[in-house]
Amino acid sequence: MGTQINKLLRVMMICVWVLMLASCGTASTAIENSADLLSTQDVGKITYDELVVGYAQIGAESSWRDGETKSIRDTATELGVNLLFSDAQQKQENQIKAIRTFIAQQVDVIGLSPIVETGWESVFQEAKEAGIPIILVDRRADVPANLYTTFIGSDFVEEGRNAARVLVELMGGRGNIAELVGTEGSAPAIDRAIGFREVIEDYPEMKIIVSESGDFTRAKGEEVMTEFLAAYGYEIDALYAHNDDMAIGAIRAIEAYGMKPGKDIKIVSIDAVHDAFQAMIDGKINATIECNPLLGPLFFEVALNVVNGETVPKWIPSQEDIFYPENAAEILPTREY
């Protein structure tokens, strides 16, 4: 709606200008001058301060998510974007409600971090019929490709592969692994599990002996790891956590059990948040696979391009790394989340 109004206003202003010229001189001169003006002013383009964006965030389940939210909010403020932000508090129905509200408000573009992959097709179709593009951020949705414009985010399968490669090295290709899975049905949980298994299937002496969702939170990670230890105890040689927050929760459970995290149980997790670096410095996490949440600048750049009719790739991947205890102290002061 914002794009259409701005475009209409520009066209109306030019028409008035043409009529004024025509009253002062010849119509042909006015038309020639108006053509020059149209060629020097891009009538269809809008700027950041004219952009209206609705963003449906999952919630605040982790420090990683807090970092992403801060990046989105701060970037909108810096650019002057009119941001309508919704916190779904980890409930898909709240995200769907927010999207329908954004449609009713006729925003220019909708950004969404889907809490799970499925259940989006109907509301995405509503956005499409309203002419509002949807940009997926950090998580995919299981919908036809024509219902969203692009996905900005990580290769979660490769993150899982990288975690497995690191554990293979740490464990010498053998040992029992406990897995703390992310939110059930979410894209990162599904893909990080797939990528991890792709690698360890080549190492028959490495086995996942227990796997359960910790819902990407520290509290749930601690709770589930306590259950793992009660059932398997010293049989567990390593922990693969789908995010750092669950790993940090699990560390508390491991220490309460009387074992040493990072030594008795090797730990590899994903995200590379600030607290994971501190845990590596303390010798309690053996490696963290980066998943970059600082997507605000890229999101708004893509949103502006999309609203202005420019073509963007269907997937815009993040640039990420793997971090180890050896250089954690040096890198920690530079971390933004």
Q: Tell whether 85 is covered by a domain.
A: yes
In this prediction, residue 198 has a pLDDT band, given cuts at 50, 70 and 90, of: very high
pLDDT at 51: 98
C-alpha 37/C-alpha 43 separation (Å) is 10
How many domains in the chain? 3
* pLDDT tens by residue, 72-96: 999 999 999 999 999 999 999 999 9
Domain shared by 24 and 65, yes or no: no
Domain shared by 148 and 214, yes or no: no
DSSP code at position 133:
-
pLDDT at 9: 43
Quote the percentage of the chain above a pLDDT of 90.
84
pLDDT at 123: 98
C-alpha 162/C-alpha 196 separation (Å) is 8
Domain shared by 255 and 201, yes or no: yes
Residue 12 scores a pLDDT above 80? no
Q: Please spell the DSSP secondary structure of 68-79, one letter per residue.
A: HHHHHHHHHHHH
* pLDDT tens by residue, 186-197: 999 999 999 999
C-alpha 39/C-alpha 44 separation (Å) is 12
Domain shared by 118 and 236, yes or no: no
C-alpha 257/C-alpha 259 separation (Å) is 6
Q: Is the Cβ–Cβ distance between 301 and 272 less than 8 Å? A: no
* pLDDT tens by residue, 216-238: 999 999 999 999 999 999 999 99
Q: Share the mean pLDDT of the chain.
A: 90
C-alpha 7/C-alpha 334 separation (Å) is 42
DSSP code at position 90:
T
Domain shared by 164 and 143, yes or no: no
Q: Give the structural domain span for 8.
A: 2-40
Domain shared by 182 and 282, yes or no: yes
* pLDDT tens by residue, 42-78: 556 899 999 999 999 999 988 899 999 999 999 999 9
User: Who's near 181: CB < 8 A, 6+ residues apart?
Assistant: 189, 193, 211, 212, 213, 214, 242
Q: Tell whether 337 is covered by a domain.
A: no
| Domain harbouring 135, CATH code | 3.40.50.2300
Residue 293 CA from chain centroid, whole number: 6
The model carries a pTM of 0.81
112 DSSP β-pair partners = 56, 136
Q: Tell whether 310 is covered by a domain.
A: yes
Domain shared by 25 and 77, yes or no: no
Q: Is the Cβ–Cβ distance between 51 and 307 less than 8 Å? A: yes
Domain shared by 36 and 70, yes or no: no
C-alpha 308/C-alpha 297 separation (Å) is 17
